[in-house]
Amino acid sequence: MANKVFHVMYDDDQKLMDGARALVAKGIRVKDVFSPFPVHGLDPVIGVKRTRLAIASFMYASTGTALAILGTWYFMIHDWPMNIGGKPSFSWIENAPAFVPIIFEFSVFCGAHGMVLTYLLRNGTLPGMPASNPDPRTTDDKFVMEITTEQNGGMSESDIEALINTTDVYELSIKNY
């Protein structure tokens, strides 16, 4: 059976929320939602899990901390110790207070950039990537819900369409894939 994709457009975030709730309650799986801004409270309704980017950021930042500690030890203590105003050049731990600013900055640097790169890669948003929103109005003031027959195996095309039409739809387009 050919996969059919329903693009259900709403003209208001509240209508989208109500529509998503009603459809999910009737057992329809919503594949995705395209919206011009984050619609709060929508994620649990359509089953989008919380992102783990914050954890990733913590790990990148910890890597940064470790690298900065290793670096300051290697440059200042191990490889070429220098007597700078009598500061301890023989022991990392005794010289550590002077290294705190750089360790901190480097941790922030790694945490921020690591997370942002992960974010861009996971989103598939990189320079020159093609956009995949089904309608240009979804970045302005319209909200589109994507529903596929493939994901809703138990239901026929006309059943899904009938259910969709019970919500406050602005426009509906059905495409073959």
Residues that bind another protein (CB under 8 A): 13-14, 32-40, 42-43, 46, 48, 50-51, 53-54, 57, 61, 71-72, 75-76, 79-80, 82, 84-85, 87, 95, 98-99, 101-102, 104-106, 108-109, 111-113, 115-116, 119-120, 122-133, 136-141
* Measured distance CA(56)–CA(115) in Å, rounded: 6
**Minimum Å distance from CB 61 to another protein?**
7
**Minimum Å distance from CB 151 to another protein?**
15
Q: Between 40 and 93, whose beta carbon lies closer to another protein? A: 40
**Minimum Å distance from CB 67 to another protein?**
11
**Cβ atoms of 110 and 64 closer than 8 Å:** yes
Helix (H, G, I), strand (E, B), or coil: what is residue 154?
A: coil
Terminal Cα-to-Cα distance of the chain (whole angstroms): 10
Q: Between 10 and 160, whose beta carbon lies closer to another protein? A: 10
**Minimum Å distance from CB 78 to another protein?**
10
Torsion of CA 12, 15, 163, 29, to 10 degrees: 90
Nearest to 123 by CA among 136, 134, 133, 109: 133
Nearest to 12 by CA among 123, 131, 171: 171
Q: Between 130 and 153, whose beta carbon lies closer to another protein? A: 130
Q: Between 26 and 113, whose beta carbon lies closer to another protein? A: 113
- State both tokens at 124: 């598939």
**Cβ atoms of 110 and 61 closer than 8 Å:** yes
Nearest to 6 by CA among 98, 167, 134: 134
Q: Between 50 and 158, whose beta carbon lies closer to another protein? A: 50
**Minimum Å distance from CB 73 to another protein?**
10
